[in-house]
Amino acid sequence: MENKLIADLVRVCEVLKNYGIEYLIVGGTAVALHGYFRITMNIDGTPNDKHDLDIWYNPTYKNYFLLLNALAELGFDANGFKKEKSPNPKKSYFQFETDDFSFDFLPELLSLKKFGSAFRKKEIVNLNGIEIWYISYEDLLNEKQENGRSKDINDIEQLKIRNSNETGQN
């Protein structure tokens, strides 16, 4: 992964960890953490200059309010969400843009209905002294299969090739 992506990933995960937030890195960044780095693509198939960081958070009320505080520390404006009279963490999707990144904080995924079971199977990598929690290989493949977009199918194929090379299987 590129240095800027690693630095921002570490910064975000460090803040999430400091607040005690349960989260998993998913999407293209999780694909990269599992061994296949690819360029983020726009819907029309053209390369996107921005990295996309998808984070699935546990949609409990406690985790939701901790996340709002963490988002503020990261420089994102979460004040509107803090003032909601009837927040619904299970439906609260956050998207923030910077010059270099698009951040998506997701309360749910298409194929995985229970955050807790995915969280128990999480994989961990240590980058610059910070634990990065990301979706398991099996859960990532299931989510990619469920999404079924051409880039997801390509991710599955590439991950399986890399996995078979690592395990010596063909």
Can you give the CATH number for the domain in which 144 is found?
Answer: 3.30.460
The proportion of the chain whose per-residue pLDDT surpasses 90, expressed as a percent, equals: 56
Boundaries of domain holding 110 = 3-162
Contact 112, 118 (CB under 8 A): yes
Domain membership of residue 124 (yes or no) is yes
User: Of 147, 158, 138, which Cα lies nearest the Cα of 38?
Assistant: 158
User: Of 107, 17, 27, which Cα lies nearest the Cα of 70?
Assistant: 17
> How many structural domains are present in the chain?
1
Listed in sequence order, the residues at least 6 apart from 125 whose beta carbon sits closer than 8 Å to its beta carbon are: 33, 131, 132, 134
Dist. CA 63–CA 47, nearest whole Å? 34
Q: C-alpha angle 140/142/145, rounded to 5°?
A: 110
pLDDT at position 114: 92
Domain membership of residue 30 (yes or no) is yes
Domain membership of residue 169 (yes or no) is no
Within 10 angstroms of residue 149's Cβ, the number of other Cβ atoms is 11
pLDDT at position 83: 82
- Inter-axis angle of helices 150-167 and 137-147, nearest 10: 150
User: What pTM does this model have?
Assistant: 0.88
Contact 74, 101 (CB under 8 A): no
Domain membership of residue 29 (yes or no) is yes
Listed in sequence order, the residues at least 6 apart from 124 whose beta carbon sits closer than 8 Å to its beta carbon are: 131, 132, 133, 134
Dist. CA 8–CA 100, nearest whole Å? 10
pLDDT tens column, 129-140: 999 999 999 999
Q: Which stretches of the chain drop beneath a pLDDT of 50?
A: none
Q: What Å distances lie between residue 86 and 6, 48, 57, CA to CA?
A: 36, 36, 19
Domain membership of residue 136 (yes or no) is yes
Domain membership of residue 129 (yes or no) is yes
pLDDT at position 170: 52
Domain membership of residue 114 (yes or no) is yes
Return the amino acid letter for 49.
D
